[in-house]
Copies of this chain bind each other. A is one copy, B any other.
Amino acid sequence: MAASTSLTLSHAALSRSAVPRHGSSTTTSPAVAAVQQSTLSIPTFSGLKSTVTSSSRAPTRRQVSATRRRVIANAAVETLEKTDTALVEKSINTIRFLAIDAVEKANSGHPGLPMGCAPMGHILYDEIMRYNPKNPYWFNRDRFVLSAGHGCMLQYALLHLAGYDAVKEEDLKQFRQWGSKTPGHPENFETPGVEVTTGPLGQGIANAVGLALAEKHLAARYNKPDAEIVDHYTYCILGDGCQMEGISNEACSLAGHWGLGKLIAFYDDNHISIDGDTEIAFTENVDKRFEALGWHIIWVKNGNTGYDEIRDAIKEAKTVTDKPTLIKVTTTIGFGSPNKANSYSVHGAALGAKEVDATRQNLGWPYEPFHVPDEVKKHWSRHTPDGAALEAEWNAKFAAYESKYPEDAAELKSIVTGVFPAGWEKALPTYTPETPGDATRNLSQTMLNALAPVLPGLIGGSADLASSNMTLMKMFGDFQKATPEERNVRFGVREHGMGAICNGIALHSPGFVPYCATFFVFTDYMRGAMRISALSEAGVIYVMTHDSIGLGEDGPTHQPIEHLASFRAMPNILMFRPADGNETAGAYKVAVESRKRPSILALSRQKLPNLPGTSIEGTAKGGYTITDNSTGNKPDVILVATGSELEIAVKASEELKKEGKTVRVVSFVSWELFDEQSDEYKESVLPSGVTARVSIEAGTTFGWGKIVGSKGKAIGIDKWGSSAPAGKIYKEYGITVEAVVAAAKQVS
């Protein structure tokens, strides 16, 4: 979907950004100036799928009446005014039955959670949260994450009532059907209004930590005493399943450490998981654990009908600004179902016609399936104008901010819109063969430090390996509770949480470029989050060092073998293995540009030379010839390699040339990018007529069969690594110039 009208800054705000700048005595950096220049035209950012139509576009400030503004101002300070309880109840039952009916029609899905969580869902979306249903991407919206993603009908029902265009009645009727906007779990890339992709348990709460981190960081960096331009909450509902997952403990430990006061998580404490009562596997004291993690805890004992309890809990949570809050809400799964409530049978299957009828009886619900009573419809209808007004208010605020703090505004705008300062990529250094060699992990640090000043949204860190992964941006301090404006994030030894937090940062605003790091082998610890990066189009950069047996003495537990192949097999993720300085720069260039596709950089621990023929441009094509002494696209043999083995291929080619062979060396730095090139280009690099091919890579040969063909030879490692100095392992494993020369002679 084209999205030139879909920016989170409205047109008005963007065009106002050109007013003369006052009150700033600091010099304007080139990066900031570039963003400022771009603000007169509407930048197109394809990362946003908007539901904004011309008719529903946010009204300008003038269009919002004075009365309306007062109402909104009240909403903004969240006076938890009690609406008529009968109406609230009706609204809550509407949510329940939309979920029941959709699951029943699909004969597939999870009615239990929506039925139990409808009260907190109603209160959040109707009374608490600030959002604009007609622009789901409005920057300063409150974020909501349904970590217990299987209960997605709760969220779809709420989006529907709130007026989001993505979820019309017909969409609810298409729940879990081909091509619908209401898939089986919440997917941000399908349904505007859904912030992140959940379903795999624990991911959502960790995403929420990332969203709250992003807010705290931006607020600290850009808010002024006279202008709170970044100011939203992050809400999350998580269940027993999420609580059991290690990833949630990792992320929540960090949330406590960072003091993310605007993160408010609702723990749907219903004592039921798929296998039955949580007593069979989950008897820990969750409250106490969260206290230990540094959270504020509130217990809502009656989550089923204690609406005021829920409201009071939220009110209390907002008064605690130095800690995240866990509101434990004790609910009955499948509330309202006379025969299935409070049992695992209501968790993940349709109630069945008979029990649906019984539930209608029990809750006094006389309506047809999918019916929204008029008074409920009317009650919720205010969110469309109110939301538009909220956005317009904020746009006006931003305009004022911009005129007073133009440099900050320009940076923030880059983060908000995803439009990078023009020419940012010129910051990347290039290399010649004369440049002294270096480990690609060190070159990666050079790139990060070159990019940090020109990319306002670059933020990240390592899972306790900053000094090994080389991920520190030297001009910044640590993002910590007391210094949230800083950009080096210390994740501790929490790989899975780290990945999911970065997904949250990436999906908070399109101009964020989050990166995170560990040893390449430990992608095994965070693969769940990396897959969600790829699926949910979160352009996280994974800086993965120590990428082969070349790490040496740490041994097989630390030496990746199968990892390159395992990611090459994954959709929508770029797997890079750069060989030197130019290729590391090229990988970063593509990775930064790829805001809807995550990238993995596999980087060496050991020093590598800068090779002749490598380039940023070549790297962007995924595979390219770096040396060739043949003519007519017909070398005697083609040597294909990646990363640290490209040097070996080059040396082998020199040996073979001495013996009179014509040899091409191809760097195959990213298979995915090469696959996307034209057939002509591919033929120019790997001519089908040349079947004499040898590949070399210090990892599994799995997958190389397709490249080298049945007449070629793949040199690699199809067994575990070993603990010894790197040179020794390379030699013992036959990852050598001699092996390539011998194989080349054999196949050509």
Interface residues of A in 534-571 (CB under 8 A from B): 535, 552-558, 561-562, 565-566, 568-571
Q: In the complex, A242→B493 CA distance in Å? A: 8
- Nearest-neighbor residue (CB-CB) of A253 within chain B: B284
In chain A, positions 241-285 with a C-beta closer than 8 Å to chain B are: 241-242, 244-250, 253-254, 256-257, 273-275, 278, 280-285
Q: Are A492 and B281 in contact (CB under 8 A)?
A: yes
The listed residue (B109, B197, B553, B571) touching A562 by CB distance below 8 A is: B571
How many angstroms between the C-alpha atoms of A492 and B240 in the bound complex? 9
Evaluate contact between A558 and B724: CB separation under 8 angstroms: no
> Which B residues are CB-close (under 8 A) to A289?
288-289, 292-293
Q: Which residues of B contact A106 (CB under 8 A)?
A: 553
CB of A467 within 8 A of chain B? Answer: yes
Is A531 part of the binding interface, using a Cβ–Cβ cutoff of 8 Å?
A: yes
- Is A582's beta carbon under 8 Å from chain B? no
Q: In the complex, what distance in Å separates the CA atom of A359 from the CA atom of B197?
A: 53
List, in ascending order, chain B residues with CB within 8 A of A555's CB.
Answer: 176, 183-185, 187, 199
Q: Mark A286-299, 1 if CB is under 8 A from B, else 0.
A: 11110111100000
Cross-chain contact A246 with B244 (CB below 8 angstroms): no
Distance (Å) between the CB of A255 and the closest chain B CB? Answer: 10
Given contacts A199-B555, A557-B187, contact A723 B176 (CB under 8 A): yes
Q: A319: CB under 8 A from chain B?
A: no
| In the complex, A657 has a CB within 8 A of chain B | no
How many monomers of this chain does the complex have?
A: 2
From known contacts A109-B553, A241-B464, A553-B184, infer whether A284 and B274 are also in contact, taking CB-CB under 8 Å: no
- Which segment, of A46-54, A392-400, A519-527, faces chain B? A519-527
Report B-chain residues with C-beta under 8 Å of the C-beta of A202: 493
Q: Which A residues from 301 to 328 make CB contacts under 8 A with B? A: none
Within 8 A of B (CB), among A183-197: 183-185, 187, 197
Which of A187, A253, A525 is the most central at the interface, judged by chain B CB atoms within 10 Å of its CB?
A: A525
**A714-737 toward B: CB 8 Å interface, digit per residue (1/0)?**
000011101111001100100000
Q: Give, as a whole number of angstroms, the nearest-CB distance from A473 to chain B.
A: 14
Complex: A494 Cα to B706 Cα, angstroms: 37
Is the pair A280, B490 in contact by a Cβ cutoff of 8 Å? yes
- Interface with B: A7-15, A428-436, A697-705, which one? A697-705
Do A284 and B275 contact each other (CB < 8 Å), given the known contacts A522-B200, A553-B106, A565-B565?
no
The reply to whether B557 and A562 contact each other, CB–CB distance below 8 Å, is: no
A700→B570 CA distance, assembly (Å): 8
The answer to whether the Cβ of A497 comes within 8 Å of any Cβ in the partner chain is: yes
Residue from A109, A184, A275, A531 with most neighbouring chain B CB atoms (10 Å) = A275
The residue among A281, A554, A555, A732 with the most chain B CB atoms within 10 A of its own CB is A281
CA distance A732 to B702 in the complex (A): 29
CA distance A466 to B237 in the complex (A): 25
A203 to B, closest residue via Cβ: B557
Determine if A74 is an interface residue (Cβ-Cβ < 8 Å).
no
Cβ–Cβ contact B250 & A246, under 8 A: yes
Which residues of B sit under 8 angstroms from A180, Cβ to Cβ?
723-724
Whether, in the assembled complex, A465 has its beta carbon less than 8 Å from a beta carbon of chain B, the answer is: yes
Using Cβ atoms and an 8 Å threshold, which residues of chain B touch A283? Answer: 256-257, 294
Determine how close the nearest CB of chain B comes to the CB of A337; give it in whole angstroms.
19
Partner of A292, one of B185, B284, B465, B571: B284
Contact with B along A360-396 (1 / 0, CB 8 A): 0000000000000000000000000000000000000
- Nearest Cβ in chain B — how far from A395, in angstroms? 35
A149 within 8 Å of B (CB atoms): yes
Q: How far is the CA of A197 from the CA of B294 in the complex (A)?
A: 33
Q: Is A59 an interface residue (CB 8 A)?
A: no
Give A522 Cβ to nearest chain B Cβ, in Å.
7
Is A572 in contact with chain B by the CB < 8 A criterion? yes
- Are A178 and B729 in contact, CB atoms less than 8 angstroms apart? yes
Q: Do B557 and A535 have beta carbons less than 8 Å apart?
A: yes
Kindly report which residue of chain B lies nearest to residue A288, judged by CB atoms: B292
CB distance from A557 to the nearest CB of B (A): 4
The reply on A43 being an interface residue by CB < 8 A is: no
Interface centre among A248, A256, A527 (most CB of B within 10 A): A527
**A562-B566 in contact (CB<8A):** yes
B720 touching A535, Cβ below 8 Å: yes
Residues of chain B with a CB closer than 8 A to A527's CB: 524-525, 527
A275 partner, pick from B273, B466, B702, beta carbons under 8 A: B466
Chain B, residue nearest A247 (CB):
B246
CB closest residue in chain B, given A250: B246
Pair B558/A244 contact, Cβ less than 8 Å: no
Contacts of A250 in B (CB 8 A): 244-246, 249
Question: A496 at interface (Cβ–Cβ under 8 A)?
Answer: yes
Cβ 8 A contact of A492, one of B282, B494, B703? B282
Chain B: CB-nearest residue to A206 = B246
A489→B603 CA distance, assembly (Å):
40
Instruction: Using CB atoms, name the residue of chain B closest to A106.
Output: B553
C-alpha spacing A198/B253, complex, angstroms: 24
Q: Which A478-493 residues sit within 8 Å CB-CB of chain B?
A: 478, 480, 490-493
Bound CA–CA A467/B531 (angstroms): 26
**A468 at the A/B interface (Cβ < 8 Å)?**
yes
| Shortest Cβ gap from A376 to chain B (Å) | 27
Is A332's CB within 8 Å of the partner chain B? no
A99 located at the interface, meaning its Cβ lies under 8 Å from any Cβ of chain B in the complex: no
Q: Is the CB of B494 within 8 A of A178?
A: no
In the bound complex, how far is the Cα of B561 from the Cα of A736, in angstroms?
34
Chain B residues within 8 Å of A732, by CB: 178
Instruction: Give the top 7 A-B pairs by smallest Cβ distance, nearest first.
Output: A246-B246, A705-B706, A281-B492, A183-B723, A288-B292, A199-B557, A178-B724
| Given A274-B464, A281-B492, 15 further pairs, Cβ under 8 A | A108-B725, A109-B553, A178-B725, A183-B723, A184-B555, A187-B557, A241-B493, A246-B494, A257-B281, A273-B464, A496-B525, A524-B527, A524-B531, A527-B527, A705-B707
* 28 intermolecular pairs with C-beta atoms under 8 Å apart: A176-B553, A178-B724, A183-B723, A185-B554, A187-B555, A198-B557, A200-B521, A202-B493, A242-B493, A244-B250, A244-B494, A245-B493, A246-B250, A246-B497, A247-B525, A253-B284, A257-B283, A274-B467, A278-B492, A280-B480, A281-B464, A284-B293, A285-B291, A289-B292, A561-B570, A565-B565, A571-B718, A705-B706
